[in-house]
Structure 1
Amino acid sequence: MAFDLELLAIFDEIYKTGNVTRAAANLGLPQSTVSVGLGRLREHFNDRLFSRTAKGMLPTPRAQNAIGDVRAALQALQHALADQPAFDPAASEREFRICMTDISEVVLLPRLLNHVRDVGPGIRLAISKISPDSPLELADGSVDLAVGFMPHLEAGFYQQVLFDQHFVCLAAANHPRVGAELHSEDLRREAHIRVLTSGTGHAIVDKVLAAEGIERRFALKLPSFLGVARIVAQTELLAIVPFRYAAEVAASEAVRALPVPVELPPFQVKQHWHERYHADVSNRWLRQTVASLFLS
Structure 2
Amino acid sequence: MGFDLDLLLIFDEIYKTGNVTRAAANLGLPQSTVSLGLGRLRSHFNDRLFSRTAKGMVPTPRAQNAIAEVRRAVQALQHALADQPVFDPAASTREFRICMTDISEVVLLPHLLNHLRQTGPGIRVEISKISQDTPAGLADGGVDLAVGFMPHLEAGFYQQVLFDQHFVCLAAASHPRVGAALSREALLRESHIRVLTSGTGHAIVDKILAAEGIERKIALKLPSFLSVARIVAQTELLAIVPFRYASEVASSEAVRLLPLPVELPRFQVKQHWHERYHADVSNRWLRQSVANLFAD
CA distance in 2 between partners of 1:264 and 1:226 (Å): 22
Q: Give the partner amino acid of 2:240.
A: I
1:96 matched to 2:96? The reply is: yes
Q: CA deviation at 1:179?
A: 1.3
CA distance in 2 between partners of 1:257 and 1:128 (Å): 29
Deviations 1:184-203 (A, max 9, x none): 11111111111111354312
RMSD: 1.6
Q: Which structure 2 segments of 5+ residues have no match?
A: 1-79
Deviations 1:241-277 (A, max 9, x none): 0000101111111110000100011000000001111
Matched residue, 1:286: 286
CA distance in 2 between partners of 1:229 and 1:154 (Å): 29
TM (norm. structure 2) is 0.71
| CA contact 2:98–2:147 (8 Å) conserved in 1 | yes
CA distance in 2 between partners of 1:82 and 1:186 (Å): 61
CA distance in 2 between partners of 1:247 and 1:155 (Å): 30
Matched residue, 2:191: 191
How many residues align? The count is: 217
Q: Give the partner amino acid of 1:245.
A: Y
Matched residue, 1:171: 171
Matched residue, 1:246: 246
Matched residue, 1:84: 84
Matched residue, 2:217: 217
Q: CA deviation at 1:153?
A: 2.5
| CA contact 2:153–2:272 (8 Å) conserved in 1 | no
Label 1:186 to 1:154 Cα distance change in 2 as closer, same or farther (>3 A).
Answer: closer
CA distance in 1 between partners of 2:81 and 2:112 (Å): 33
Q: Which has the larger radius of gyration?
A: 1
- Percent same amino acid at aligned positions? 85
Q: Which structure 1 segments of 5+ residues have no match?
A: 1-79
TM (norm. structure 1) is 0.71
Label 1:81 to 1:147 Cα distance change in 2 as closer, same or farther (>3 A).
Answer: closer
Matched residue, 2:148: 148
| CA contact 2:194–2:218 (8 Å) conserved in 1 | yes
CA distance in 2 between partners of 1:168 and 1:190 (Å): 15
Note the 1:127-138 alignment, pairs <5 A: 127-138=127-138
CA distance in 2 between partners of 1:269 and 1:136 (Å): 20
Q: Give the partner amino acid of 1:287.
A: R
Matched residue, 2:121: 121
CA distance in 2 between partners of 1:84 and 1:222 (Å): 47
Matched residue, 2:158: 158
Q: CA deviation at 1:171?
A: 0.4
Matched residue, 1:75: none
Q: CA deviation at 1:155?
A: 4.3
